[in-house]
């Protein structure tokens, strides 16, 4: 019959119907029928052959986080599928819309320890928003439709679709008349009006109010609404690690980042405030420190689309379940009279002045401008030059890996736009940056995409440099902050383990030569006088470039909240500073 399709063809057409533009993956035994079919649709579905499934997953995350669209990654059964587990968990922690497609052994041998059989739906059950084991061709189109709907709606997250090989090989006439039926899945997008009025009452009466902006603001597209609420009330704004970019750092009301490596004045402001409006942040322990001592004087208003997050870590006075954009709009509608608003503005202005005095006292970013007594290249020299350069150019994205360099980037660079700062926050996945930058670069071909890595994380997934080369991505640049240690763990060992550097001294190859082996331009920088020239050369190069910044080895990230301590108990460090 001419209209018959294989399950693999139906899968391709289902993805096209979901407006999928690009997929990141690796073929293998069980998923091979899908790859055979993909050839027919190659003009509509771009496939990026990664060097490891973990890289494919992080690339799909980078694509999703920089666009807000659903990222797609592919693996075969068994090890191909289990290699996707880390990026799936990463996407779950950071609320990234992701659909992972995996091939499964034939349904006839399921449960018989067939070659490359693994129960990937069982493995990923705790780290996916939902997952499917599809054993019949009749269920493929519906499963794909439902998977994309679940991944992108409510609190975004990863969904896995595992399809048996015989379902991909079977044939049928597809039925595209699909009506989703999800009676147990009804995200609440609109906050309760009574609770919104109570939130506005608390905010209006506050003497020391704060707004905390999290990742949910960016994901909901609520940037404009956040600006309007903040500016009409005059309330200072804190941006979490994932909230960076949701409120520009050059705005006079933005006071900076809170948490374990947040600024001293920001953490102290949280400990002093009397009302804290948290929009789209989940109060993770890197923000709160010892949760029972977090914001002890504040009545907390928590806005989150995921009801399970509210009250989980911090006691909440006013819970509001809803989409950040809708709730912010509703809060703006409930703004008080002009007179009451003027009074709030006056109190908020005095409060902001007090915070700025604390900032001046604790030097904020200035602490890094006084160089220590060393001629060695400091990490801060790199960030200062890179920030100057990127601000001048304007059109850029930065993807950071995990560790000291990640915190320095969050602290020291200027973040002015949403979706320009992309990092692994919740899972803290080393090896995230290079493949994620690849996904960002594909999604944003006119932007320069910088991946900032430590020498440890870089060595975990740098094989994707070849994928970047094969795809002809000329807009990717990599900066390795190379200190010869797993730096953040070394810092903990220095501060809390008497400098017993167990398992943290780290060697590596010559990164410049490694880059050249991949066909990239490689640069090594060891002197501060060479930093700007290297960055300018990278920008001027029509192709991917890696710069190996060999920095002072034992530099710490300050301030720091020790594990189990309140955010009011920061170690401010010695002035490197």
The residues annotated as belonging to the active site are 53, 115-116, 165, 488
The CA-atom distances, in angstroms, between 457 and each of 250, 400, 401, 470, 483 are 30, 10, 7, 22, 12
Q: Which helix (H) or strand (E) holds 549?
A: strand 545-550
Residue whose entry in the numeric block shows the structure tokens 């819970």 = 319
Terminal CA-CA length for the chain = 74
Tally Cβ neighbours within 10 Å of residue 514: 19
Phi/psi at 566 (5° precision): -70, 155
For residue 465, whether the previous peptide bond is cis, meaning omega lies within 30 degrees of 0, is no
3-state secondary structure of 536: helix
Question: Would you say the C-alpha torsion 561, 562, 563, 565 has a positive or negative sign?
Answer: negative
Q: Could you tell me the two tokens for 351?
A: 């409060």
Question: Comparing C-alpha atoms, which of 247, 240, 243 is closest to residue 262?
Answer: 240
Beta strands at 158-164 and 130-134: parallel, antiparallel or unpaired: parallel
Phi/psi at 473 (5° precision): -85, 100
CB 142 within 8 A of CB 136: no
Q: Could you tell me the two tokens for 223?
A: 């940037």
3-state secondary structure of 213: strand
Q: Could you tell me the two tokens for 371?
A: 């160089």
CB 303 within 8 A of CB 280: yes
d(CA 525, CA 551): 9
Phi/psi at 271 (5° precision): -70, -20
Question: Comparing C-alpha atoms, which of 408, 440, 403, 444 is closest to residue 425?
Answer: 403
Residue partners of 186: CB distance under 8 A and separation at least 6: none
d(CA 144, CA 147): 5
The CA-atom distances, in angstroms, between 254 and each of 80, 318, 322, 361, 568 are 44, 24, 24, 17, 20
d(CA 453, CA 479): 6
CB 420 within 8 A of CB 395: no
3-state secondary structure of 572: coil
Q: How many CA atoms lie within 13 A of 11 on its CB side?
A: 34
3-state secondary structure of 369: coil
Question: What value does the CA radius of gyration of the chain take, rounded to a whole number of Å?
Answer: 25
Helix 7-17 crosses helix 140-152 at what angle (to 10 degrees)?
A: 30
d(CA 501, CA 487): 10
Local structure of residue 318 (DSSP, 8 states):
E
């Amino acid at each position: 019959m001419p209209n018959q399709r294989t399950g693999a063809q139906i899968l391709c057409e289902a993805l096209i119907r979901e407006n999928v533009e690009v997929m990141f993956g690796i073929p293998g035994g069980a998923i091979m029928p899908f790859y055979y079919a993909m050839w027919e649709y190659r003009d509509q579905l771009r496939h990026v052959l990664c060097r490891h499934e973990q890289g494919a997953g992080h690339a799909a995350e980078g694509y999703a986080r920089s666009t807000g669209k659903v990222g797609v990654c592919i693996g075969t059964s068994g090890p191909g599928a289990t290699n996707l587990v880390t990026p799936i968990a990463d996407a779950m922690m950071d609320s990234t819309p992701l659909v992972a497609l995996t091939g499964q052994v034939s349904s006839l041998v399921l449960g018989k320890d067939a070659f490359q059989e693994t129960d990937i739906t069982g493995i990923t059950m705790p780290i996916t928003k939902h997952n499917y084991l599809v054993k019949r061709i009749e269920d493929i189109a519906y499963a794909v439709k439902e998977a994309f709907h679940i991944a992108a709606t409510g609190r975004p997250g990863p969904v896995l679709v595992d399809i048996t090989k015989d379902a991909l090989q079977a044939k049928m006439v597809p039925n595209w008349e699909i009506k989703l039926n999800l009676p147990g899945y009804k995200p609440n997008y609109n906050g309760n009006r009574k609770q919104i009025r109570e939130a506005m009452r608390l905010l209006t009466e506050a003497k020391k109010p704060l707004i905390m902006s999290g990742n949910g603001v960016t994901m909901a597209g609520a940037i404009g609404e956040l600006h309007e609420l903040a500016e009409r009330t005059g309330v200072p704004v804190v941006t979490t690690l994932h909230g960076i970019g949701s409120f520009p750092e050059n705005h006079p009301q933005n006071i900076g980042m809170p948490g374990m490596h947040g600024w001293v004045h920001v953490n102290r402001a949280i400990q002093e405030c009397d009302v804290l409006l948290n929009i789209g942040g989940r109060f993770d322990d890197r923000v709160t420190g010892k949760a029972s001592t977090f914001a002890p004087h504040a009545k907390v208003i928590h806005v989150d689309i995921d009801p399970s997050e509210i009250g989980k870590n911090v006691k909440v006075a006013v819970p509001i379940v809803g989409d950040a954009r809708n709730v912010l709009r509703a809060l703006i509608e409930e703004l008080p009279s002009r007179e009451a608003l003027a009074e709030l503005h006056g109190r908020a202005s005095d409060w902001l002045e007090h915070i700025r005095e604390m900032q001046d006292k604790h030097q904020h970013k200035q602490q890094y401008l006084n160089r220590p007594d060393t001629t060695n290249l400091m990490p801060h020299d790199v960030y200062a030059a890179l920030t100057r350069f990127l601000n001048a150019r304007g059109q850029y994205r930065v993807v950071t890996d995990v560790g000291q360099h990640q915190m320095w980037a969050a602290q020291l660079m200027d973040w002015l736009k949403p979706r320009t700062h992309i990092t692994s926050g919740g899972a803290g996945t080393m090896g995230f940056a290079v493949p994620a930058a690849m996904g960002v670069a594909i999604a944003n071909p006119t932007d320069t995409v910088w991946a900032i890595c430590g020498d440890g994380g870089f060595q975990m997934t740098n094989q994707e440099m070849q994928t970047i080369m094969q795809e002809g991505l000329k807009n990717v640049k990599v900066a390795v902050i190379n200190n010869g240690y797993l730096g953040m763990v070394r810092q903990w060992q220095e501060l809390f383990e008497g400098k017993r550097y167990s398992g943290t001294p780290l060697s590596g190859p010559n990164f410049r030569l490694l880059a050249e082996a991949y066909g990239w331009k490689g640069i090594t920088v060891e002197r501060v006088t060479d930093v700007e020239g290297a960055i300018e050369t990278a920008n001027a190069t029509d192709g991917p470039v890696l710069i190996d910044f060999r920095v002072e080895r034992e530099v710490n990230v300050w301030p720091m909240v020790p594990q189990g301590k309140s955010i009011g108990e920061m170690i401010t460090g010695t002035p490197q500073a």
